[in-house]
Structure formats: C-alpha cells, structure tokens
Amino acid sequence: MPSQPLIGVTTYFTRARWGAAWDLRAALLPGDYPHHIQRAGGLAVMLPPDDPATAEALVRRLDGLVLAGGEDLDPALYGATPHPRTGPPVPERDRWELALLDAALRQGVPLLGICRGMQLMNVHAGGALNQHLPETVGHKDHNPRVGVFSHHRVEPVAWTRMGQLLAAPAQVATHHHQGVSRLGTGLIASAHAEDGTIEAIEYPGDCFRVGVQWHPEADDDLRVITALIHATTAR
C-alpha cells in the first residue's frame, strides 16, 4: 500500500472549555478538517502558530498544506484601516501562516487555502479584501447566520484548474463576510458566486496552489481535497 501523504493544517490558539472544569488556552481546529483529509486518503497534522523562522523547515516535512478558515486578517496587511465589522487582529496567526504559505510556494508544496486561507493567499500576493461583503453585494447570503453554514451556487471558470475539478456549477458551504476586492499578482479567479464575488483563486502552472472561499470540509464533496492529495504524489 502506498504511503499516505502528510497534510499540515493550520490552526489557532484560543480560549476553550472542555471536560468537568478545564478552561485553558488551546490549539483549536474544527474536526471536519482532519476528517475531510483522512477521507481523501491523507494523514492530517495540526500546525498551531509558531516562530515564523521555523516555517521553512516544517514545510519541508509536509507533502501538502491546508490553510484553514478562521479569524479575519489584519487589514494593515493590505494597507487598509479596520472596518467596524472586522474582527480583532490575530498577529501571531497572520505571521505564522504567511510564513508557511511563503515556504510552500518556494518549495513547490501543493496547497489549499480555505476561506481565510484563500484570503491569505490573495493578500500575500499583494491583493486586498472587501472587509464586509453585504455592503457591496447588497445581501447576506454568504453568511446569513453566524455559526451556521449555508449554501450558495458557484460558477467555475471553464479553462482553469477549478473548472476542470467542478466541470459545472456547484452548491457549496459558505460562511464568510469578507472576500477578494483586488486580485493579487499572479493569481487568477477560477470561480464566482452569482453576485460576482470571487469564490476560488489559483496560481497557473502544474503545481496545485488553489484557494476556495467556501468550506469543502463542511460537505461530502471530496473533489477539491482529493485533488490536493493527488497533487502530492505528482511531486
């Protein structure tokens, strides 16, 4: 049996309560992320924030990288002032994940950015974010209820990697109030929502370097994560 690829998933520190009395700072990751990777044939390992100087060595040990969803990025990273609806910055996570992303791009490690992870890819490439989509698109369909995934339709761009993966419009799990406003250098938009919001981005070329604004781990559709797993065997 061929060895299973090792897929690192970013996580974050936050206060958590569990058991009879524990209330401590914890490295947290929703269980759907590792389960999704495992179902696609990978081995999942959590990557809590660390010294960015260690990112290069860590990524060398990985076969693939998933940049998980979570808190809003610090608007200072793309030269903006915080919107009233933007969450407080989490600099230790921003620095760590930018370092991991930078290392993965340099080393040619396949990567998938999910929600915040896609936004991080865009900002890393010099792009910018819309800090509160409802003010631009005129509705709350991307995040109608905080803490609950809803679904909306995305249209892939036919000639892109995402277009090949999805082949047709798809219903995807969504939970975000921010999105891409200015696309980063070298990236292409490879899927859109019906309101025009960019829902997937990717770097052209043979290496799998894709970001999706939706949450594939919240659904049974394994096409995106399976593509990442397959890409690790092609290195």
Pairing mode of beta strands 43-47, 6-10:
parallel
Pairing mode of beta strands 170-174, 198-202:
unpaired
Q: Taking the CA atoms of the chain, what radius of gyration do you get in angstroms? A: 17
Residue of 36, 124, 175, 215 marked active site: 215
Structure tokens that stand for 142 in this block: 């991307």
Residue 120, burial from CB neighbour count under 10 angstroms (0-12, 13-18, 19+): buried
Pairing mode of beta strands 128-130, 179-182:
antiparallel
Distance between CA 3 and CA 14 in Å, rounded?
33
Residue 97 falls in the annotated catalytic set: no
Residue 71 falls in the annotated catalytic set: no
- What is the helix (H) or strand (E) element at residue 99, kind and residue range? helix 91-107
Residue 217 falls in the annotated catalytic set: yes
Distance between CA 225 and CA 198 in Å, rounded?
19
Residue of 36, 97, 115, 124 marked active site: 115
Identity of the residue numbered 10: T
> In this structure, what are the phi and psi dihedrals at residue 57, rounded to the nearest 5 degrees?
-70, -40
Catalytic residues: 115, 215, 217
